[in-house]
A = this chain, B = another copy of it.
Amino acid sequence: MKKPSQKLRIPGTIARDLGVMIVSGVLKPGMVLEGEVEASDQRKVSRSAYREAVRILVAKGLVYSKPKVGTRVNDRAAWHLLDPDVLSWIFQVEPDYTLVYSLFEMRSMVEPEAAALAAERRTPNQIKVMAAALEIMSRNKTTTKEWRDADETFHSALLEASGNAFLSSMTSSINAAVSWSTIFKQRHEPLKRDPVPDHRRVFKAIAAGSPSAARKAMGQLVRLALIDITTAPKWPGKVSRLKKATALHKAQKTRKTARKLSLLG
């Protein structure tokens, strides 16, 4: 739950620096980094320390190195985008909005189903954790760090409660999206919509053990969050899949209405 947040060693900091440069596009795919000797010399560190940094980047798919050719930046297709570090590096600077949209797209696939599973598999303790997080969220303004931390705790506990190890391992990825979007939405104007009721609906469905209600509530939460960021003033027009997003939201609502009706018939 709590991050050890241990001080980064030399290789860790170098890997982070290079990693941020790569994911932010300063170092573009195909580019070859400086040689080990020059790079380590320039940063005043030993060659072995620099090599370990490169090894980290290789392990995360950002670069690859061969004798005689050097260390090149990989194409984005090879990056391990779901790696917690890589994703945190992406959000370290202004992220590519297409990527953010893709991340939300993934959330909209995963989180509603995770909520449905959580409604079946959650333990009493996980309910307690989610309830506590919800309590904190309702007591604080969305601009505070307390609120964002509680928001992350809520989503983390939900994924954990899904009982699916792969979903749990997406926790940091989802949290990155969750936390970033809350900050982003409020960069220029205060939040219009209160997100707490959405969360409360999800929680109640999970606590009540109703998978379909949980899926529905979480689906709505994610869709509304996506609408919020794509309608924010700072969201770029080019990536504005706004039409699609709102259309999706309406379609989903009508679909559900239709389903409900069909059950009545």
Contacts and interface: CB of A to CB of B under 8 A. Distances in A.
Given A6-B66, A164-B106, A81 B169 contact: yes
A102 B164 contact: yes
Interface in A235-264: 255, 258-259, 261-263
Contacts of A83: 80, 83
A109 interface: yes
A262 B169 CA distance: 38
Is chain A's interface secondary structure helix, strand, loop, or mixed overall? Answer: helix
Contacts of A166: 81-82, 99, 102-103, 105-106, 173
Given A59-B59, A77-B160, A80-B83, 11 more contacts: A6-B64, A55-B56, A59-B85, A79-B169, A80-B169, A81-B169, A106-B110, A106-B167, A109-B110, A109-B113, A258-B262
Interface of A: 4, 6, 11, 48, 51-52, 55-56, 58-61, 64, 66, 76-77, 79-85, 98-99, 102-103, 105-106, 108-110, 113-114, 117, 160, 163-170, 173, 255, 258-259, 261-263, 265
29 contacts: A6-B66, A51-B52, A52-B52, A55-B55, A56-B56, A77-B160, A77-B165, A81-B165, A82-B82, A82-B169, A99-B165, A99-B166, A102-B163, A102-B164, A102-B166, A102-B167, A103-B166, A105-B166, A106-B110, A106-B166, A109-B109, A109-B110, A109-B113, A255-B259, A258-B259, A258-B262, A258-B263, A261-B265, A262-B262
